[in-house]
Every structure is written in structure tokens, then in C-alpha cells.
Amino acid sequence: GFTGQVAVVTGAGAGLGRSHALALARDGARVVVNDLRPDLAAAVAAEINATGGQAVAEPTDVADRVAVAAMVARVMQQWARVDVLVCNAGLLREKSFARMDMADFDRVVAVHLGGSANCCHAVWEIMRAQGYGRILLTTSTSGLFGNFGQANYGAAKAAMLGLMNVLRIEGQSTASG
């Protein structure tokens, strides 16, 4: 179980992120329910708290590096640790590449890739100092194989795979050295 551990789950207001947050809480984790939509983050945190778990809502935009650092600082002030990070925040802005507004390309990459990097960076030294931490990045077959209308999403998800591969190597190096 995750008793005594603190888990940050991004994009936890609905869908897969919500499922991760609820499962971690059922297994004993204190959960930081991050979602850009404050009402959804609050609802999931309330659901966890109503069933005897411990959760706080954090309606932070993961693409905002300063806001992510502030969120993690609040978590550390409240619970003094971060053991698990699940980077699940995301959005879709689907259009064929020829018709895609490049601002939509940038926003999707900023949330999926930038948000993952921001969150990982904000907890990295905490986990290193604790000598323990687990990070999960949610990627997609769109990044591995492609999908029509998802050039932005597919590119971001493929880049997240590259980030994961490097963090795995550096995390092992940090743990052993």
C-alpha cells in the first residue's frame, strides 16, 4: 500500500487521473488532486475525504513552472514529503496539421511535455533527498504510432517518452550514487 505516502496526481479531476487519485487514496496515500478546473479538483478531493482518506485540491496549471513550484511548496508545508507523482494532465486540440493553429500546437506541448517536466523538476530533489520516489508519466499510442488530427498531442506524448527514458537513467544513477 501507500500508507504514509503523499501522491501528487495531475489532471485528477476526471477520467484516468481521477481513477489514479481514488486508487492511491484507497491504498492509503494522502493525495494532491491537481486539475486546472477548480470545481473538479475540489469534487475529487471531497470524495476522497468523505471516504476517510486525506486529499487536497490544487487547481494549478502544470504548464506554469512558477505555479507548479508553489503547489509543491504547499504540499511540502502541509505533508513534508512527496513520494509519488502521476503526470496525467492533458488536453486535446485536434485538427489536421494543415488546419492546426500553431498556438494550439504550443499549448498542447506546454501542458503534456512542459507540465510533466515542470512537475518532475519540482519534486526531483525532494525525492532524491528522501531516497525514494516514483514518477509515472501518462503517454499514448498517438505518440508512438501517430493518429490523424493529433500532430500536437502525438509529438508531446512521444517527447514525454524521451523524458521518461532519461529520468529513469538519471534516477537510477541518483539512487545509487
User: Do 40 and 16 contact (CB within 8 A), yes or no?
Assistant: no
Q: What's the residue count for the chain?
A: 177
Catalytic pick from 6, 35, 153, 154?
153
How many contiguous H segments (helices) and E segments (strands) does the chain have? Answer: 7, 5
User: Do 11 and 5 contact (CB within 8 A), yes or no?
Assistant: no
Does 153 qualify as catalytic in the annotation? yes
Strands (E), the chain: 6-9, 30-34, 54-58, 84-87, 134-137
Residues annotated as part of the active site: 153
